[in-house]
Amino acid sequence: MTPPDDPAMVRVLADDGTYAPSAAAEEYLPLIDALADTDLETFYRDMVVVRAFDRQATNLQRQGQLALWPPSFGQEAAQVGSARAARPQDHVFPSYREHVVCTIRGVDPIDIIRLMRGLTHGGWDPADPRNGNTRLYTLVLGSQTLHSAGYGMGLVFDGRTGTGDPERDEALIVYYGDGASSQGDVHEAMVFAASYQTPQVFFLQNNHWAISVPVATQSRVPLYRRGEGYGMPSLRVDGNDVLASYAVTKRALDEARAGEGPRAIEALTYRMGAHTTSDDPTKYRGGDEEQYWARRDPIARMRAFLQSRGASQAFFDGVEADAAAYADDVRVRTNALGGLDTSVMFDHVYSEPHPLVAQQQAWFTEYESSFDQEGRA
């Protein structure tokens, strides 16, 4: 297991929520000091709400409402801190577990649900301004890093970044995992990003596991140091510390937007749940490790910090109530979704009609019509 007390790691809050910046965090403290109380409360609220949503979605999968659910349980601080660091004009390229990143940008959680129910190939329209420049989930590990590098090159070519106007210059952040970090696509993306000095942040969530494969098998060096090999300033942050995650991402995106090129961040966190609802982690990891990380829960840490600053019980109660209402709303809307409109799985295979797809659709329509209302052949 990677030691979480690495002195080179940027960390603002200790495990128990005490304000105890590491040496590496010193230079980031002005960014933390600039946060208002309401910002700190928003970070906390985001984390509690997404945990309730995530648990609800996991339950919905168990009830047969979803085909699959990849939980974000445990990774809330890495995701909330980094997402809250982005500006409205920035672009987000998620993997498949960044639920709160998407909702912070404006994506309706029911669109993530629809995807995991198997009702749509995509989920949402990235070009719709309500979705905050959020690209689609991809389950093809690492592919989004290539998409992001290409998009970043486009931003450079089109003069949409690095002009010196922080209100208009655009940057992007791409999320990927420790397992994906060994995928060729990620390395190709880093080569292109560094060569073209794209305005982007490679945000690696090291949650210690790639399904059943532990992170120790992925690399001989800490994963953030791979970024250095491509010529990118790279660092490791405590990914269970929402303040540290916010500060390092904010700095990195600001620098990227200002034309200083790509940056790599490794957020050290832990997947507290299963890989997906198809996985049983008791087959490959032990309770000691889970308990170790349970004591480093990102929400408990921020809660203790807010309590030490005098946040009221009424505030915490209000957040709990909001989270419960949010999850209830998702459940009600999920149960009302209905079944698959089978035409959609053929609609977006190609942008133009294609004879093979048309043939398959005709076959499928005939097959479907061979069943009666109750599904009997």
- What residues make contact with ligand TPP under the rule CB under 6 A? 97, 139-141, 177-180, 183, 207, 209-211, 271, 275
Q: How far is the CB of 208 from ligand TPP (least distance, A)?
A: 8
Q: How far is the CB of 14 from Mg ion (least distance, A)?
A: 24
DSSP-assigned letters across all residues of 328-361: HHHHHHHHT-----TTHHHHTSSSS--HHHHHHH
H-run or E-run covering 214: strand 213-214
CA–CA separation, 92 and 235 (whole Å) = 20
> Of the candidates 71, 142, 152, 177, which one interacts with Mg ion according to CB under 5 A?
177
Is 147 a residue of the active site?
no
- Active-site annotation holder among 19, 284, 292, 350: 284
| Helix 109-117 × helix 313-335 angle, to 10° | 40
Q: How far is the CB of 179 from ligand TPP (least distance, A)?
A: 3
Closer CB to ligand TPP, 235 or 272, in the complex = 272
Q: How far is the CB of 40 from Mg ion (least distance, A)?
A: 28
Report how far apart, in Å, the C-alpha atoms of 184 and of each of 145, 172, 196, 228, 263 are.
10, 20, 18, 17, 18
- Which long-range CB contacts under 8 A does 150-154 form with residues at least 24 apart? 150/192, 151/91, 151/93, 152/193, 152/196, 152/198, 152/199, 152/200, 152/262, 153/192, 153/196, 153/198
Q: Which residue's Cβ has the minimum distance to Mg ion?
A: 177
Closer CB to Mg ion, 177 or 222, in the complex = 177
φ, ψ (nearest 5 deg) of residue 310 = 95, 15
The stretch near Mg ion (CB under 5 A) out of 79-87, 93-101, 174-182, 189-197 is: 174-182
28, two tokens = 């980031």
Is 271 a residue of the active site?
yes
Strand, helix or coil for residue 83: helix
- Active-site annotation holder among 11, 84, 105, 271: 271
Q: Which 190-209 positions form the footprint of Mg ion (CB under 5 A)?
A: 207
Tell me how long the chain is: 377
Neighbours of 247 (CB within 10 A): 26
CA–CA separation, 57 and 80 (whole Å) = 18
Closer CB to Mg ion, 101 or 323, in the complex = 101
- Active-site annotation holder among 51, 84, 263, 275: 275
- How many residues lie near Mg ion (CB under 5 A)? 4
200-206 and 172-177 beta bridge pairing: parallel
Closer CB to ligand TPP, 195 or 219, in the complex = 219
Q: Taking CB under 5 A as the rule, does residue 54 contact Mg ion? A: no
Quick check: 26 and 11 in contact, CB under 8 A? Answer: no
> Of the candidates 54, 170, 178, 238, which one interacts with Mg ion according to CB under 5 A?
178
Q: How far is the CB of 24 from Mg ion (least distance, A)?
A: 23
**Residue 362 binds which entry of Mg ion, ligand TPP, none, with Cβ cut-offs from 5 to 8 Å by kind?**
none
Q: Taking CB under 5 A as the rule, does residue 239 contact Mg ion? A: no
Any idea which residues carry the catalytic annotation? 271, 275, 284
Tell me which residues touch Mg ion (CB under 5 A).
177-178, 207, 210
